[in-house]
Amino acid sequence: MLDPILLCSQLFPGGHDVHIEGERVVGTGLAKAGEVAVVGTHGHAAIGADLAFALATDVLEVIEKHPKRPILMLVDTQGQRLSRRDEMLGNPGYLSHLAKCFEVARRRGHPLLALVYGEAVSGGFLALGLTADKTYATPDAQVRVMALPAMSRITQIPIERLESLCRTSPIFGPGAEHYEKLGAIESLWSGDLAGHLEAALALPAGSDRRRHLGAERGGRTAAHSVVERMLAAP
């Protein structure tokens, strides 16, 4: 996995001041099209109440100080913070607040991109990463709901069975390429990262097309048709 600061040097050959603050990765990078705000996490951070709140602070600052500036989420999260304290304090409210801040940014004209460069797991990924207009990943990114051994334990499905299903279906197992096939990850970035970023910044934000992509790529064939049927049902 790439160090987030080295990653930014590759993403922004024109320069950046992105730095580490606790579990956050924050700063500004210079792309050809202009300045890009970076909001993210590192060290497989677990996103609990405090971190979600701090990330929301970063997003609000971009909205208020730099109208319409693109925001790049750099995602490395093991998921929501699993603790009694965070749930007692209302983790749904904190994670949802972060998602709302991104939604306000989107509606005020900030293009939202995400790059998963470490881990992206369940609740953490829902608030940071899947809230982007388009989500990208490096090829070695670990994207999942749960590791297969734990999934096997909980579902009581033998792990050999899950492993064999993973070879034929992107639905069960971890992997950025699975999420690409399912339409949640637009594409995998390798090689010229700055070039990928420039190309992504040039795309219009548009509406949520993940279910269309999942159907086109053959990985998630039911979601789009079910939505269409719900829209058309007499």
113-132: contacts with other proteins (CB under 8 A):
122-123, 125-127, 130-131
**Judged by CB under 8 A, which of 151, 188, 194, 205 binds other proteins?**
151
Q: Could you say which residues in the range 75-94 bind other proteins, by CB under 8 A?
A: 80, 82-94
- Decide whether 21 or 228 has the Cβ nearer to other proteins: 228
28 near other proteins, judged by CB under 8 A: no
| Cβ(30)–Cβ(13) below 8 Å | no
Is 42 or 224 the residue whose CB approaches other proteins more closely? 224
Nearest to other proteins of 6, 232 (CB atom): 232
- Is residue 178 a contact residue for other proteins (CB under 8 A)? yes
Distance CA 121, CA 193 (A): 23
CB of 56 to other proteins, least distance (A): 6
- Rounded to the nearest whole angstrom, what is the least distance from the CB of residue 226 to other proteins in the complex? 4
Distance from C-alpha of 78 to C-alpha of 46, rounded to nearest angstrom: 5
Indicate whether 108 belongs to the interface with other proteins (CB under 8 A). Answer: yes
Instruction: Give bridge partners of residue 35 from the DSSP assignment.
Output: 30
Write down the least CB distance from residue 11 to other proteins, Å. 24
Among 6, 167, 191, 208, binds other proteins (CB under 8 A): 208
DSSP symbols for 62-128: HHHHSTT--EEEEEEEEEE---HHHHHHTHHHHHHHHHHHHHHHHHTT--EEEEEEEEEEHHHHHHT
User: How far is it, in rounded angstroms, from Cα 63 to Cα 109?
Assistant: 9
CA 75/CA 233 separation, integer angstroms: 38
